[in-house]
Amino acid sequence: MRSTKWVAGFAAVALSVGVAACGSNNNSSTDTGSGASTSAASSGAKAKKIALLLPESKTARYESQDRPNFVNKMKTLCPDCEIIYSNADQDAAKQQQQAEAAITQGANVLVLDPVDGASAGAIVARAKQSKIPVVSYDRLILNTGDLDYYISFDNEKVGVLQGTALVDKLKKDGKSGSVVMINGAPTDNNAKLFKQGAHSVIDKSGFKVAKEYDTPDWSPDKAQSEMEQAITAVGKSGFVGVYAANDGTAGGAIAAMKANGVDPKKIPITGQDAELAGVQRIVAGEQYMTVYKAIKAEAEAAAQLAYDVSQGKTPDAATVNGKTNNGQADIPSVLLTPVSVTVDNIQDTIIKDGFWKASEICTGRFAAGCKTAGIQ
Ligand code: GAL
């Protein structure tokens, strides 16, 4: 049985992206998008069913960026296509059921961001039985030769950008000593790559790693308790910086620092996703950096790929710009470039791209920081 709390959470999310019809009890919906153009109405696109299966809702990007951008692009490409949408709330078994439900509903292609990259091969195998192509979205589905495409960012580079920003800042401030590492979910192949990229920089920087944790479910609450444990173990002055794999975990770590009398303004901490709360913490000086990934470009490219595949068209060779080995095969890939962001380039990246407006960032207590940084 689904809890009341969850149902209420989904209702809020559904409203925010203009869903017309909700699934009964499968955390799923038929998504019509908002403000979609109908310019392709006469393009001859065949009405197909496209399933978008996202992994979680604690990280803001999925409901606020990935989903609406995917839906809007798909509606432009194919006004008559139907989108079957589900969010697995970090539950791999639930995601498997959602995928099966999408197949039963007649999905012609699955765009799957796996909760668990290793076990999601079973979903690909099931889809293959029904001759349904699968696009691995943002996170790689491992150890299957049946996967059709993979679309993501250069995820090891994300970790390199985070590690480099942290180490350079500490060196610039004349610091030496240890850092704490709060990594992402052990079930997420991206988290492994972020960690690998960050270690490749930190391990040869002269800074030691005092404590390191993998954070189940990417949960900000769990990141908070990991940081509490680190502070208890090494003491308030036992670390000079924190590697946090994304903005959600950074938020948890910062809450733990504040609760223990450690000033986050004096301890640089990394992030990722350019979540509004993360960008605001950067403006306020509480978080040092984030990694901006152009999620709109990623979601739109995924919609284009899914559309092409569902219509039996060959995707544009210029878009499919690489191959990624998933342990069993080289999967044709679309790989986008992540960008390191501190207070100095928020204007030229996030705001320039329209990812967030200055008016969204610079509210209330963040107005002063924006003014100092010239963000407008
Ligand atoms: C990763 C994703 C990140 C972050 C994280 C938590 O796979 O690439 O952008 O959101 O999951 O969901």
21 DSSP β-pair partners: 30
Span 42-101, pLDDT tens digits: 467 899 999 999 999 999 999 999 999 999 999 999 999 999 999 999 999 999 999 999
pTM (two decimals): 0.90
How many angstroms separate the most distant Cα atoms in the chain?
66
- The reported pLDDT for the residue numbered 26 is 45
Ligand 1 touching residue 218 (CB < 6 A): yes
Average of per-residue pLDDT across 114-142: 98
- The structural domains of the chain, ordered by start, are 8-153+295-336 (3.40.50.2300), 155-292+340-373 (3.40.50.2300)
Q: State the pLDDT at residue 18.
A: 30
**Nearest ligand 1 atom, CA 273:** 9
pLDDT digits (tens, 9 = 90+) for 351-376: 999 999 999 999 999 999 999 999 99
Phi-psi region of 279 (alpha: psi -120 to 50; beta: other; left: phi over 0): alpha
- Residue 38 above 50 pLDDT? no
> Is the pLDDT assigned to residue 336 strictly greater than 80?
yes
Q: Distance from the CA of 212 to the center of ligand 1, in angstroms?
A: 19
**What pLDDT score was predicted for residue 45?**
84
- The distance from CA 356 to its chain's CA centroid, rounded to whole angstroms, is 16
**Structure tokens given for 205:** 């920087």
Q: Is the CB of 73 under 6 A from ligand 1?
A: no
| CA dihedral of 146, 150, 154, 159, whole degrees rounded to 10 | -70
Does 153 contact ligand 1 (Cβ within 6 A)? no
pLDDT score recorded for residue 29:
73
Greater pLDDT, 36 or 16: 36
Would you say 83 and 31 are in contact if contact means Cβ atoms under 8 Å apart? yes
Q: Is the pLDDT of residue 10 over 60?
A: no
What per-residue confidence (pLDDT) applies to 31? Answer: 64
Of residues 65 and 1, which shows the higher confidence score?
A: 65
End-to-end CA distance of the chain: 47
What's the rounded mean pLDDT across residues 126-139?
98
Q: Is the pLDDT of residue 21 over 80?
A: no
- For the chain, state the CA radius of gyration: 21
* Distance of CA 290 from the midpoint of ligand 1 (Å): 13
Is residue 273 lining ligand 1, measured as CB closer than 6 Å?
yes
Kindly report, residue by residue over 217-243, the tens digit of the pLDDT.
999 999 999 999 999 999 999 999 999
The values of phi and psi at residue 234, to 5°, are -110, -5
Ligand 1 neighbour 190 (Cβ under 6 A): yes
The pLDDT tens digits for 161-191 are 999 999 999 999 999 999 999 999 999 999 9
pLDDT tier at 8, thresholds 50, 70, 90: very low
Q: Provide the pLDDT confidence category of residue 7 given band limits of 50, 70 and 90.
A: very low
Mean pLDDT of 249-256: 98
The whole-number pLDDT of residue 349 equals 97
Comparing CA positions, the residue from 199, 52, 201, 37 lying closest to residue 138 is 52
pLDDT average, residue stretch 276-305? 98
Distance 71 CA to ligand 1 centre (A): 19
pLDDT at 43: 62
Cβ atoms within 10 Å, residue 297: 16
Give the Cα separation of 133 and 147 in Å (integer): 7
